[in-house]
Amino acid sequence: MRGAMDISALKCFLKKAAFLVGLLFVLMGLLPENSPAADTLEVVTGRAQSYYYGQGVKRNLHRAFILYLEAARRGDPDSMLVVGGMYMQGEGVAENRKEGFKWLYKAANNGSSSKESQRVIGQFLLAGEGVPVNYKEAAHWYELAAEGGDAEAQSELAYLYFFGDKVERDYDKAHKWFRLAAENGYGLAQYNMGILWYTGSGVPEVDFGRAYAWFSLAAASGYQNGDVAKKFLETQLSAEELQQAQEYASYLYKEIESMNE
């Protein structure tokens, strides 16, 4: 009888000790939290945001990803968008562009997208990367991103209209989107604006002075081919034409800077 009481007391002690050790580990963050499946969607997304930004807890991108993925699987479009972005960037999970596209595309079709995700969707549909090629739909997503102000999408949409091998050729639209991307400070688009004026495509006439000005801006933005083209045109323009072209380049530079302040 005495031995039985001792064993019972020992079991009680061990049970209390295990509880205290477990509690300590939870407080120290050494044990996993309750499964997110037991929480409401609002709780899951709130915890995901806390871990992603380190709000009230130590930042943990992997834990944030797991929580966002749980919310995405439950049908939350905003979480789908975040999961797609984290896959694309390799944040909290191994980079996986195919999975990233899947979630970005699903999010967009459920009403949650950004100009960046719209551009990525357009790129995937244009290249047929992990999804069947669809030029018309690609142009649709590029246009949404371009209208949202994404300079790279504006430039890529302009390419589509300029070459016309995937959508109907339209030099006026090519000029419009190259111009907007160039005004957003995108060096490649500034270079291509120079090409439009050099060839007279989508603009009233060939104008080497305007071409020079845009090539100068592209060079100033760090686009190397702009510098090459600028130096070539310096050999084709008279001293007076070159001075006027440089003055126009300065005017464009100031105008674009003021637009992007």
For 73, the domain range is 26-107
Residue 185 lies in a domain: no
Is the distance from CB of 83 to CB of 68 less than 8 angstroms? yes
Return the CATH number at 35: 1.25.40.10
Q: What is the structure's pLDDT at 19?
A: 41
Q: What is the structure's pLDDT at 150?
A: 97
Q: What is the structure's pLDDT at 186?
A: 96
Residue 2 lies in a domain: no
Q: What is the structure's pLDDT at 96?
A: 97
Residue range 5-61, pLDDT digits in tens: 444 544 444 444 444 434 333 334 443 455 666 789 999 999 999 999 999 999 999
Residue 160 lies in a domain: no
Q: What is the structure's pLDDT at 165?
A: 86
Structure tokens at 249: 């380049």
Q: What is the structure's pLDDT at 36?
A: 67
Residue 194 lies in a domain: no
Distances (CA, A) of 251 to 28, 163, 188, 195: 60, 30, 19, 19
Q: What is the structure's pLDDT at 23?
A: 38
Is the distance from CB of 95 to CB of 101 less than 8 angstroms? no
Q: What is the structure's pLDDT at 30?
A: 41
Counting the structural domains of the chain, the total is: 1
Q: Report, as ranges of residue numbers, the positions in the chain whose pLDDT lies below 50.
A: 1-7, 9-32
Spatial separation of the C-alpha atoms in residues 1 and 17, rounded to whole Å:
24
Residue 212 lies in a domain: no
Q: b/e for 84-112, b at 16 or more Cβ within 10 A?
A: bbbbbeeebbeeebebbbbbbbbbbeeeb
Q: What is the structure's pLDDT at 34?
A: 57
Residue 92 lies in a domain: yes
Residue 220 lies in a domain: no
Which pTM does this prediction carry? 0.79
Residue range 145-156, pLDDT digits in tens: 999 999 999 999
Residue 170 lies in a domain: no
